[in-house]
């Protein structure tokens, strides 16, 4: 497979610079149209999409998948499929595929999209992919993964897998996801946290609350050392709010909000 299109990222880059300098900005109007068309599609089925993802965050996912030339996308939390549809649009352009999972089937994925839906929780979905010898190079976590999911991620995810997380700063869920990834995911790399949305031409804005982890393999400049990785995990573990009950509470709160 030709991976010449894979671009690296400067470890010191701001998210704003990453977005503004993207080689794929001209594709965003088409991605926006796909987002709008999908909203009409699920609304026509009487689904409100109230827990679905903003256009701004979908465009962030789109740019990440295109920039890093990702081929095997995995999502936790399909819901009405907004992010699945946009990520699928991006990964298909790279010649890859998108798999998404949710214990609830909202029946809102277009039948002809080619998106693979696994009607199960993330640990079961990853166990199934493992049995099929699949690998993953881009993951989007729109739900707090449990430890079993992250243990499987350590086995299935490519060393250079990029992980994106939704609702960072907007909802305790985003921080809980980052924390549990820091605790259990073994790769070294750097988190990039959302800044103010980036306003582009044509009224298009990118990124409200999507954080992303870029592994050392895809970074230029100063990379995270093993000691720093250890400190990152320990700081979560030693933080008073980081107890098992915190994770449980956060997940329950998120469920209640739905
Ligand atoms: C915020 S919504 C996802 C929104 C979706 N990404 C979109 O853009 O439409 C979170 C979803 O996670 C699902 N979920 C809950 N527990 C899960 C688990 N263990 N594994 C996978 N998905 C889960 C919920 O059913 C819910 O549909």
Does residue 5 fall inside a structural domain?
A: no
In a domain, 173, yes or no: yes
- The CATH number for 83's domain is 3.40.50.150
Position 128 in a domain = yes
Closest listed residue to residue 69, CA positions, set 161, 198, 144: 161
Written in H, E and C, the secondary structure of 162-188 is EEEECCCCCCHHHHHHHHHHHHHCCCC
The pLDDT value recorded for residue 254 is 46
Ligand 1 atom having least distance to the Cα of 80: 9
- State which residues form the domain around 231: 10-257
CA of 170 to the centre of ligand 1 (A): 16
In a domain, 3, yes or no: no
| Span 198-236, pLDDT tens digits | 999 878 999 999 999 999 999 999 999 999 999 999 988
Residue nearest to atom 1 of ligand 1 (CA): 51
In a domain, 202, yes or no: yes
Q: Which residues pair with 189 in a beta bridge?
A: 215
From the list 72, 36, 74, 70, the residue with the least C-alpha distance to 54 is: 36
Q: Is the pLDDT of residue 253 over 70?
A: no
- Does residue 1 form part of some domain? no
User: Based on the structure, what is the number of domains in the chain?
Assistant: 1
pLDDT, position 258? 44
Residue 132 resides in a domain: yes
- What is the spatial distance between Cα 222 and Cα 214, in angstroms, rounded to a whole number? 13
SS (H, E, C) 36-98: HHHHHHHHCCCCCCCCCCCHHHHHHHHHHHHHCCCCEEEEECCCCCHHHHHHHHHHHHCCCEE
In short, whether 167's Cβ falls inside 6 Å of ligand 1 is no
Of the pLDDT bands very low, low, confident and very high (cuts 50, 70, 90), residue 242 is low
Ligand 1 probe mutation, 78, 98, 149, 150, most atoms within 8 A of CB: 78
Residue 205 lies in a domain: yes
Structure token pair of residue 176: 């809980």
């Amino acid at each position: 497979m030709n991976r010449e299109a894979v671009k690296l990222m400067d470890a010191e880059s701001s998210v704003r610079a990453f977005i503004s300098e993207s080689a794929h900005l001209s594709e965003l109007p088409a991605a926006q149209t796909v987002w709008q068309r999908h909203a009409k599609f699920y609304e026509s089925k009487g689904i409100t999409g109230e827990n679905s993802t903003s256009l701004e965050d979908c465009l962030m996912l789109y740019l990440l998948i295109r920039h890093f030339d990702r081929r095997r996308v995995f999502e936790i939390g399909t819901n009405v499929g907004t992010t699945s549809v946009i990520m699928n649009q991006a990964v298909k352009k790279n010649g890859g595929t998108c798999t998404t999972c949710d214990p609830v089937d909202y029946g809102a994925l277009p039948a002809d999209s080619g998106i693979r839906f696994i009607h199960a929780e993330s640990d079961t979905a990853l166990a199934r992919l493992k049995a099929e010898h699949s690998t993953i190079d881009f993951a989007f976590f729109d739900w707090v993964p449990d430890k079993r999911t992250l243990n499987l991620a350590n086995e299935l995810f490519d060393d250079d897998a990029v992980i994106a997380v939704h609702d960072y700063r907007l909802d305790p869920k985003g921080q809980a996801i980052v924390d549990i990834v820091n605790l259990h995911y073994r790769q070294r790399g750097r988190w990039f946290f959302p800044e103010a949305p980036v306003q582009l031409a044509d009224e298009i804005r990118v990124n409200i609350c999507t954080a992303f982890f870029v592994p050392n393999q895809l970074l230029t400049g100063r990379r995270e050392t093993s000691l720093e990785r250890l400190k990152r995990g320990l700081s979560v573990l030693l933080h008073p709010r980081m107890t098992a009950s915190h994770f449980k509470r956060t997940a329950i709160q998120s469920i209640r909000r739905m």
